[in-house]
């Protein structure tokens, strides 16, 4: 009998007219490595919660069909029994924390398993070491960065040692190097101990080749595809794109070359397979090809150009980059010698930088280096220990909070931190109401936001009941109600499917073209390469780099030291440019 068995499973939440999952059936064997893909709000996290028994035990929902874990229904087992068989890392790990310090959080779960003190201590130390958090064992959770909290959630899961690990966006807040470390750690544990891994993830390029099986849910909660990774994307590529689901960047570029005449003997899932295929078509000398492509367009700059894949634009070079040098005039935001400390630890050390009108700045750096802290200083939520911040020439200490909020908008790393109303519609209207708008003035604006951010179907829902992707879209929409000139967004694409990520980034690009200045905190180097006109790298609390993205990605020593990887788009540009110049290989 399969370790996980699902037959005709349908789930509907209260006050909703449609099922989130519609009669799905699956068998999963012990030790399988499975990736679940689907659009935002398509039922991925709902399936994960049902597998763990949280639905319907703790989250109210109407559930029909059969769901068995090792022959038993999770809903009928005790929480302790379920946690030994199947563990889950939530999309937002903060929602499963209940203690004050790092070690207390891990020990809490182990105490509920009834383990001895010696075994608990061994598991505590091992799990912290595996995720690289031994140095913050005694730290309070409120001191941790978003990425460190995500690592703590993984440590809690590993310490419980369940047979099945469900990982809902386990690397969403992690820097690129930490992402690879966590992927390799989980895959290694699965291989050595026979653990079943179920990933819900959108960072696909390095993960997909390691998966044995890909299950794709469509927008209506049905299973669209269920097969090996290569077969799924060979047979269902167009349907996956039509449903707004993430496709690995490498496969998007492979499809582009198909349209240019390339004939793949097998769809490449890795860079190595890509190179092998190209060599088969008579281009063994990759250096020659790289040189030709670099000469044609120039890796150190050049005009912004775009190509399309299946209707989506793919940048060859950052369109805004060439105009970065022309961003002159008085800075809208001026930061000088800014420092901040917490709990006796220096978080930021003498930060100085400018943000000019119309600039699109990406704020990047390793986990725990102070990016979110800096953003909260810029919005007045924290007060600096030293230094000065000026917005449009006015020092922050001379600005009232309401005056600051009229000029600068902020999207929290955790969108739930900014919700104050009982429905999506009320949340969108709140900013207009407190600004004195009349109903006949704000109602058309709310309708426009509901449509633009694909929230019309959930307009009456409580914001806290939305999927993570819907919460993020709502948080961005509410920020835009006051038409601020400076927009600060902390991981704005977290939890988004591909179509909503593209829509959001296109909207930000449109606002940027209208002269608004944008500061985007992100670990997604593809977004940095595609959209930013300027990169600021924070490392160990100081500014290690500020300048153009092109130069940033050429500084390999800097990137290695900062645990940042070059985006795949940048690495593949020479091959793509060669095709663009009609140097087709077949």
In order of 34, 209, 233, 526, the CA distances from 267 in angstroms are 19, 11, 8, 22
Asked if the model's pLDDT at residue 336 lies above 90, the reply is yes
- Residues sharing a CB contact under 8 Å with residue 197, sequence separation 6 or more, in sequence order: 32, 33, 34, 164, 165, 167, 186, 187, 190
Q: What long-range pairs does 100-103 form, CB within 8 A, spacing at least 24? A: 100/140, 100/141, 101/138, 101/139, 101/140, 101/141, 102/128, 102/133, 102/136, 102/137, 102/138, 102/139, 102/140, 102/141, 102/144, 102/152, 103/128, 103/137, 103/138
Average pLDDT of the chain? 87
- List alpha helices for 260-338, DSSP H: 271-280, 286-297, 321-324
3-state helix/strand/coil string of 469-528:
HHHHHHHHHHHHHHCCCEEEEECCCCCCCHHHHHHHHHHHHHHHHCCCEEEEECCCHHHH
pLDDT band per the 50, 70, 90 thresholds, residue 579: low
In this predicted model, which residue has the larger pLDDT, 411 or 317?
411
In order of 302, 414, 443, 517, the CA distances from 401 in angstroms are 42, 21, 26, 19
Render pLDDT for 43-65 as a digit per residue (tens, 0 to 9): 999 999 999 999 998 899 999 99
pTM of the model: 0.82
The average pLDDT across 507-531 equals: 93
Other C-beta atoms lying within 10 Å of the C-beta of residue 181: 18
Question: Over pLDDT 70: what percentage of the chain?
Answer: 90
Asked if the model's pLDDT at residue 435 lies above 60, the reply is yes
Which domains are assigned to the chain? 4-246 (3.40.50.300), 248-283 (no CATH), 333-407+484-577 (3.40.50.300), 420-480 (no CATH)
In angstroms, the CA 446 to CA 477 distance is 9
pLDDT at 497: 84
The average pLDDT across 142-171 equals: 92
Render pLDDT for 236-248 as a digit per residue (tens, 0 to 9): 999 999 999 999 9
In angstroms, the CA 370 to CA 357 distance is 24
Strand pairing class (4-12; 164-168): unpaired
Asked if the model's pLDDT at residue 119 lies above 80, the reply is yes
Q: Does residue 382 contact residue 373 with C-beta atoms inside 8 Å?
A: yes
Asked if the model's pLDDT at residue 216 lies above 70, the reply is yes
Residue 289: both structure tokens together: 């090809």
In angstroms, the CA 123 to CA 158 distance is 8
Asked if the model's pLDDT at residue 398 lies above 80, the reply is yes
Asked if the model's pLDDT at residue 363 lies above 60, the reply is yes
Comparing CA positions, the residue from 512, 539, 544 lying closest to residue 318 is 512
Asked if the model's pLDDT at residue 527 lies above 70, the reply is yes
Beta bridge partners of 364: 537
The average pLDDT across 286-298 equals: 39
Q: What angle do CA 300, 522, 532 make, to 5 degrees?
A: 35
Other C-beta atoms lying within 10 Å of the C-beta of residue 15: 9
Other C-beta atoms lying within 10 Å of the C-beta of residue 413: 23
Residue 344: both structure tokens together: 């006796």
In order of 62, 295, 312, 327, 331, the CA distances from 300 in angstroms are 57, 10, 25, 19, 26
Render pLDDT for 64-75 as a digit per residue (tens, 0 to 9): 999 999 999 998
The torsion defined by the Cα of 233, 234, 238 and 242, in degrees rounded to 10, comes to -20
The average pLDDT across 160-169 equals: 94
CA 205 to chain centre: 14
Strand pairing class (62-69; 4-12): antiparallel
The average pLDDT across 110-136 equals: 94
Comparing CA positions, the residue from 199, 206, 101 lying closest to residue 156 is 101
pLDDT at 414: 81
In angstroms, the CA 523 to CA 194 distance is 31
- Residues sharing a CB contact under 8 Å with residue 452, sequence separation 6 or more, in sequence order: 477, 507
DSSP assigned state of 462: -
Query: Which uninterrupted H or E stretch holds 307?
Result: strand 306-309
Verify cis geometry, omega within 30 degrees of 0, for the bond prior to 201.
no
In angstroms, the CA 383 to CA 381 distance is 7
pLDDT band per the 50, 70, 90 thresholds, residue 328: low
Asked if the model's pLDDT at residue 581 lies above 70, the reply is no
In angstroms, the CA 341 to CA 321 distance is 34
């Amino acid at each position: 009998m399969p370790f996980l068995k699902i037959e005709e499973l349908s789930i509907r939440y209260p006050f909703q007219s449609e099922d989130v999952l519609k009669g799905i059936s699956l068998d999963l064997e012990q030790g399988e490595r499975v990736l679940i893909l689907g659009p935002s709000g398509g039922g991925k996290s709902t399936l994960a919660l049902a597998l763990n028994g949280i639905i319907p035990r703790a989250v109210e929902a109407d559930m029909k069909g059969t769901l068995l874990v090792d022959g038993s229904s999770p809903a009928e087992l005790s929480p302790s029994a379920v946690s030994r068989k199947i563990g889950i890392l939530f999309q937002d790990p903060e929602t499963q924390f209940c203690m004050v310090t790092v070690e207390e959080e891990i020990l809490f779960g182990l105490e509920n398993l009834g383990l001895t003190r010696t075994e608990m201590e061994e598991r505590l130390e091992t799990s912290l070491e595996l995720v690289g958090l031994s140095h913050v064992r005694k730290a309070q959770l409120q001191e941790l960065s978003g990425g460190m909290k995500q690592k703590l959630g993984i440590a809690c899961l590993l310490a419980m040692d369940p047979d099945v690990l469900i990982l809902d966006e386990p690397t969403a807040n992690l820097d690129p190097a930490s992402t690879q470390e966590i992927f390799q750690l989980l895959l290694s544990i699965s291989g050595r101990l026979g653990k079943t891994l179920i990933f819900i993830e959108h960072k696909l390029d390095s993960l997909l080749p390691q998966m044995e099986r890909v299950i794709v849910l469509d927008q209506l909660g049905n299973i669209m595809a269920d097969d090996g990774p290569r077969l799924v994307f060979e047979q269902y590529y167009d349907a996956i794109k039509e449903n707004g689901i993430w496709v690995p960047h490498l496969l998007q570029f492979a499809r582009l070359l198909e349209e240019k005449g390339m004939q793949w003997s097998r769809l490449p899932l890795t860079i190595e397979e890509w190179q092998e295929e190209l060599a088969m078509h008579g281009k063994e000398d990759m250096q020659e090809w790289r040189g030709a492509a670099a000469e044609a367009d120039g890796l150190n700059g050049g005009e912004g150009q775009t190509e399309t894949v299946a209707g989506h634009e793919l940048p060859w070079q950052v369109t805004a980059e060439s105009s970065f040098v022309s961003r002159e005039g008085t800075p809208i935001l001026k930061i000088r010698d800014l420092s901040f400390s917490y709990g006796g630890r220096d978080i930021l050390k003498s930060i100085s930088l400018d943000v000019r009108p119309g600039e699109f700045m990406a704020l990047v750096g390793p986990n725990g280096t102070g990016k979110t802290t800096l953003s909260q200083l810029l919005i007045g939520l924290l007060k600096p220990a030293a230094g000065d911040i000026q917005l449009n020439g006015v020092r922050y200490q001379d600005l009232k909070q309401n005056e600051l909020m009229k000029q600068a908008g902020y999207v929290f790393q955790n969108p739930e931190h900014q919700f104050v109303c009982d429905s999506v519609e009320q949340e969108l209207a709140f900013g207009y109401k407190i600004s004195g708008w009349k109903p006949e003035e704000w109602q058309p604006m709310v309708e426009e936001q509901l449509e633009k951010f694909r929230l019309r179907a959930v307009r009456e829902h409580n914001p806290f009941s939305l999927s993570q992707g819907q919460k993020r879209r709502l948080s961005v929409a509410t920020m835009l109600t006051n038409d601020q000139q400076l927009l600060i967004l902390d991981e704005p694409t977290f939890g988004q499917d591909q179509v909503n990520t593209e829509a959001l980034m296109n909207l930000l690009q449109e606002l940027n073209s209208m002269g608004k200045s944008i500061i985007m905190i992100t670990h997604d180097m593809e977004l940095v390469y595609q959209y930013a006109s300027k990169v600021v790298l924070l490392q160990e609390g100081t500014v290690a780099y500020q300048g153009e993205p092109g130069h940033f990605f050429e500084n390999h020593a800097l990137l290695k030291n900062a645990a940042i990887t070059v985006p795949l788009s940048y690495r593949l540009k020479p091959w793509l440019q060669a095709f663009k110049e009609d140097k087709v290989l077949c």
